[in-house]
């Protein structure tokens, strides 16, 4: 008799394509690894409800309204925190740290952070989110190409070749020649 | 003078790692393709709020409560619809069609569909979703391994090698030898 099976729970929603990948792999491995696989259907909407990016996205909204030239850098520094260095992005101090790394002065960053509680900023973030929903978004990222008076909505980050086709341009992989990509 | 730049909007939330991939690629290509890139910070929680899987996930919850042996097949058939064949999963007829493909009789499928409005089923889905949140979930899939009295939470479908390590097992890629994987 082998060792007792270990329990592995898989929480998933059929709306999540990566949940499907995890599901198929675990279904294949459950006997190979002798695990007791507990399938746990859950609601992604409930999980994302308080997912913690509200202040960060309000901050970026304020950046976009007041200093749009800083939006790219400020967004990247927040991603660097949460998805590269596994650091917090919910605390105001975390957002200020990202803003300063993006090249803002402490004073400028604090001013924008204060604006996250202004109705104009809150409403602007709501409007942008609603605009995405109107285009048919059911997740992010969503890219909307406006070509020849037509609108094309693309979900995810793996349809860039299709975007290139819609634009009549050439897809040359994630790092096009001549672009110095550090990431 | 070349053609006028076409507008491309990118809706994103820094909580979404695939948004980051799309963002970096579009930032690199904006000059190469001569597009006017509009960065549109939005709130993923707001986009997922009414994302449409509520009835499907209540249905799977009812399947799990009444016929747990059918849960794997019924889940797979819903994924086949939404992520393989680009078909609807919000309409009751769509859910019935998936259930019948999974091997249920019409009568059985209809009975389970009726149960999606029962408080026990609604509450069970809420409980499971809350359980995932308590483990620290901020998206799906979430895998929770219970090993030697300890709990390990893994986010996403690309940490299977880490899961194997935690279990003291070997990771042999997405299709382990000897498993007949059709997908």
Question: A–B: how many Cβ contacts below 8 A?
Answer: 323
Instruction: State ipTM.
Output: 0.82
Minimal CA separation from B42 to chain A, in Å: 5
Percent of chain A scored above 90 by pLDDT? 74
pLDDT tens, residue by residue, A84-138: 999 999 999 999 999 999 999 999 999 999 999 999 999 999 999 999 999 988 8
Q: Which residue has the higher pLDDT, A51 or A61?
A: A61
Nearest to A144 by CA among B92, B145, B98, B38: B38
Cα→Cα distances B171→A3, A34, A65, B72, Å: 18, 13, 48, 22
Write out B111-156 in H/E/C secondary structure.
HHHHHHHCHHHHHHHHHHHHHHHHCCCCCCCEEEEEECCEEEEEEC
Would you tell me which residues 47-86 of chain A have a C-beta closer than 8 angstroms to some C-beta of chain B? 47-54, 56-57, 60-61, 64, 71-72, 75-76, 78-79, 82-83
The residue ranking higher by pLDDT, A39 or B47, is: A39
Please report the pLDDT score of residue B2 as a whole number.
58
Cross-chain residue pair B156–A20, CB shorter than 8 Å: no
Instruction: Report pLDDT for A161.
Output: 93
Whole-angstrom distance, CA of residue A4 vs CA of residue A27:
18
Q: Is the pLDDT of residue A65 over 80?
A: yes
Q: What pLDDT shows up at residue A52?
A: 84
List residues bridging with A36 in a β-sheet. Answer: A7
B16 catalytic? Reply is yes
The band of A2, judged by pLDDT with boundaries at 50, 70 and 90, is low
Q: pLDDT band at A75, cuts 50/70/90? A: very high
Q: Which of B2, B5, B30, B40 to mutate to test the interface with A (most CBs of A within 10 A)?
A: B40
* Tokens 């997740």, located at residue: A139
How large is the average pLDDT for residues A75-79?
96
Cβ neighbours of A23 in B, within 8 Å: 75-76, 79, 141
Lowest mean pLDDT among A2-11, A70-79, A111-120: A2-11
Domains of chain A and any CATH numbers: 6-167 (3.40.30.10)
In the numeric block, the tokens 């300063």 are attached to A100
Distance CA B63, CA A22 (A): 20
Give me the pLDDT at residue B160, please.
Answer: 92
Q: What is the pLDDT of residue B3?
A: 65
Nearest to B140 among A6, A13, A35 (CB): A13
Q: Average pLDDT per run of 10 along chain B, which is 183 residues long?
A: 78 91 92 91 84 92 95 96 94 97 97 97 95 90 91 92 92 87 71
pLDDT for the residue numbered B173:
92
pLDDT at A3: 65
- Chain A residues closer than 8 Å to B24 by CB: 76, 174, 181, 183
From chain B residues 122-151, the ones with a CB under 8 A of any chain A CB are 125-126, 128-133, 135, 137-147
């Amino acid at each position: 008799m082998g060792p007792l099976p270990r329990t592995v729970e898989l929480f998933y929603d059929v709306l999540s394509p990566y949940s499907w990948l995890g599901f198929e792999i675990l279904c294949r491995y459950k006997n190979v690894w002798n695990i007791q696989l507990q399938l746990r259907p859950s609601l992604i909407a409930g999980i994302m409800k308080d997912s913690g990016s509200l202040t960060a996205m309000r901050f970026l909204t304020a950046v976009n309204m007041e200093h749009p030239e800083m939006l790219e850098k400020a967004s990247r520094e927040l991603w660097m925190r949460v998805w590269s260095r596994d650091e917090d992005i919910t605390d105001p101090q975390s957002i200020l740290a990202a803003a300063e790394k993006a090249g803002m002065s402490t004073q400028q960053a604090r001013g924008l952070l204060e604006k996250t509680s202004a109705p104009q900023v809150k409403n602007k973030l709501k409007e942008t989110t609603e605009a995405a929903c109107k285009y048919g978004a059911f997740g992010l990222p969503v890219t909307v190409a406006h070509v020849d008076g037509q609108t094309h909505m693309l979900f995810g980050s793996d349809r860039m070749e299709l975007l290139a086709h819609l634009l009549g341009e050439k897809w040359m992989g994630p790092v096009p020649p001549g672009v110095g990509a550090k990431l």
